């Protein structure tokens, strides 16, 4: 039996329900808590912050249009701004896996803001002077506001964290490519000897890969700037004053300093989750490239005595509980794991995107969670990769030169002089005798000045 000292009664369209006495949420949130004990996961504060921005912007717009009393509107704005600042994060208690479209999450924030605004006006959160639906949710629906909140949160995370972190990685790889450019080494294809190259050229390839991926992610961000506030339930803008949409979007832009705009077609926005799908595809591609780069670096640093050891990585922690002194490529391994998770998350968002039906996609809560978790993981992993690994990479010139001189692919330089077949025979003989190409040429009295010049690795790059 619930103690009356610990709970209060709240009411919604289904009747009364007991809510913790000091909770700022209300009946509909409590029903969601009771219904969805699923994962223990909550939507991230980036989504809650975005919802707060929307609620404050709506309240200001409704005040300007004469729809909301000034005192009520100002209290809602103050409460929403407290939510934006994170003052009430512990009051957002609905599981990620909840009722479709984010209705429970929308009511969670409506109820928290309504109770806090009532408290600001009357000194008690139980006065109910501010109503979660009539006042806080005025001129809104879950369907337009929660969808828009995903766009706000993702755009802000990309703008403030992921893109700057990605640019930092690209610049550091570019700097490292210049630093390592003097070191000659053997290239490899199919993990076998290939023609010579510069170690810096390898890193220049990594840098350009990240640069092009940065541009792609930056381009996808533009789709996130479309927000369908005012679309209401299905895009018809029912009961909406004509000036509502431009005013609320202007206020959102003022609060975020980002260029949000009305969708070209409101019904298309309501029906689909295009921008999150495209963003996740770009994050998946970034993850694929990061796995390639980090796998390369692990291979190039393998050893230190029994691997390639062409580069050295900074030591960040002991690598074994049984082998003393062992140091592993831990930061690269961490990055690889993050990317594996993001690639899996992309499948979740794609599958959720398929679930759109008629005028809405009800899978938005899992899309919100998965997209923001992906952005958070990558935004945290990239600076760690730069500062604890890429910054400290050093090239091992002696080992690189040794492998290059031993490479059988040096015979490639002989093809224009003596033909492919004869050059291949010399390479095969060098391999069988386990000697260098030059030794076979010298043995056959073929080491002419022209061939000596051709075999100079610097001339091959």
Each residue's pLDDT tens digit, 81-111: 999 999 999 999 999 999 989 999 999 999 9
For this structure, is 320 an active site residue? yes
Q: Give the C-alpha distances (Å, rounded to integers) separating 349 from 96, 156, 267, 355, 370.
A: 14, 19, 20, 10, 7
Burial of 1 (0-12, 13-18, 19+ CB in 10 A): exposed
**Is residue 1 over pLDDT 70?**
no
Please report the pLDDT score of residue 19 as a whole number. 96
Sketch out the chain's domains with CATH numbers.
7-138 (1.10.275.10), 151-227+267-398 (1.20.200.10), 407-460 (1.10.40.30)
- The pLDDT-based confidence of 459 (bands split at 50, 70, 90) is confident
Please report the pLDDT score of residue 306 as a whole number. 93
Mean pLDDT to the nearest integer, 395-414: 91
> How many Å separate Cα 187 from the centre of its chain?
32
- The pLDDT-based confidence of 452 (bands split at 50, 70, 90) is confident
Q: What are the backbone dihedrals phi and psi of residue 445, each rounded to the nearest 5 degrees, phi first?
A: 55, 40
Q: Name the percent of the chain lying above pLDDT 90.
A: 82
- The pLDDT-based confidence of 461 (bands split at 50, 70, 90) is confident
**Nearest in space to 308 (alpha carbons), one of 182, 408, 173, 187:** 187
> How many Å separate Cα 176 from the centre of its chain?
24
Do residues 124 and 118 make contact, with C-beta atoms less than 8 angstroms apart? yes
Query: What is the Cβ-side half-sphere exposure of residue 146, based on CA atoms within 13 angstroms?
Result: 29
Each residue's pLDDT tens digit, 199-222: 999 999 999 999 999 999 999 999
In the numeric block, which tokens belong to residue 275?
Answer: 């921008």
Do residues 341 and 290 make contact, with C-beta atoms less than 8 angstroms apart? no
Active-site pick, 3, 320, 374, 415: 320
**Is residue 122 over pLDDT 70?**
yes
The mean pLDDT value of the chain amounts to 94
Please report the pLDDT score of residue 415 as a whole number. 87
What residue ranges in 289-440 does DSSP mark as E strands?
311-312, 394-395
Active-site pick, 147, 190, 315, 415: 190
Residue 362: CB partners within 8 Å, gap ≥ 6? 100, 101, 355
Each residue's pLDDT tens digit, 266-292: 999 999 999 999 999 999 999 999 999
Do residues 146 and 364 make contact, with C-beta atoms less than 8 angstroms apart? yes
**Is residue 455 over pLDDT 90?**
no
Q: What is the pTM of this model?
A: 0.93
Do residues 84 and 109 make contact, with C-beta atoms less than 8 angstroms apart? no
Q: Which of the pair, 321 or 303, is modelled with greater confidence?
A: 303
């Amino acid at each position: 039996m619930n103690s009356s000292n610990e709970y209060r009664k709240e009411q919604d369209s289904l009747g009364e329900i007991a809510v913790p006495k000091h909770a700022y949420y209300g009946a509909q949130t409590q029903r969601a808590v009771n219904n969805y004990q699923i994962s223990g996961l909550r939507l991230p504060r980036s989504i809650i912050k975005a919802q707060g921005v929307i609620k404050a912007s709506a309240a200001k717009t409704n005040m300007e249009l004469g729809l909301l009393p000034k005192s009520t509107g100002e209290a809602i704005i103050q409460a929403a701004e407290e939510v934006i600042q994170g003052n009430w994060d512990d009051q957002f208690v609905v599981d990620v896996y909840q009722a479709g479209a984010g209705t429970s999450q929308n009511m969670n924030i409506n109820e928290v803001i309504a109770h806090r605004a009532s408290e600001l006006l009357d000194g008690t959160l139980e006065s109910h002077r501010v109503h979660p639906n009539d006042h806080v949710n005025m001129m809104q629906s879950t369907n337009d506001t929660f969808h828009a909140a995903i766009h706000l949160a993702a755009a802000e995370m990309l703008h403030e964290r992921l893109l700057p972190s990605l640019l930092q990685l690209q610049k550091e790889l570019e700097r490292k490519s210049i630093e390592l450019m003097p070191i000659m080494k053997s290239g490899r294809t199919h993990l076998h000897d290939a023609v010579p190259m510069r170690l810096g050229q390898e890193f220049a390839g990594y840098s350009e890969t990240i640069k092009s991926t940065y541009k792609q992610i930056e381009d996808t961000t533009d789709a996130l700037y479309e927000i369908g506030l005012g679309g209401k339930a299905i895009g018809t803008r029912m009961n909406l004053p004509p000036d509502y949409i431009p005013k609320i979007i202007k206020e959102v832009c003022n609060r975020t300093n980002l260029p949000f705009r009305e969708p070209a077609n409101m019904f298309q926005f309501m029906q689909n989750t295009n921008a999150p799908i495209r963003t996740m595809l770009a994050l998946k591609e970034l993850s694929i490239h990061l796995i390639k780069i980090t796998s390369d670096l692990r291979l190039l640093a393998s050893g230190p005595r029994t691997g390639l050891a062409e580069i050295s990585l900074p030591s960040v922690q002991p690598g074994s509980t049984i082998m003393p002194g062992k140091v592993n490529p831990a930061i690269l391994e961490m990055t690889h794991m993050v990317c594996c998770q993001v690639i899996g998350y992309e499948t979740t968002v794609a599958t959720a995107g398929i679930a759109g039906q008629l005028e809405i996609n009800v899978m938005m809560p899992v899309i919100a969670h998965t997209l923001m978790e992906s952005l958070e993981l990558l935004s945290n992993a990239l600076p760690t990769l730069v500062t604890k690994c890429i910054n400290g990479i050093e090239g091992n010139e002696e080992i690189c030169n040794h492998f290059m001189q031993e490479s059988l692919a040096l015979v490639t330089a002989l093809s224009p002089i003596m033909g492919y077949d004869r050059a291949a025979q010399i390479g095969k003989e060098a391999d069988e005798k386990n000697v260098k190409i030059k030794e076979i040429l010298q043995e056959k009295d073929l080491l002419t000045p022209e061939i000596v010049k051709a075999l100079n690795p610097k001339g091959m790059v």
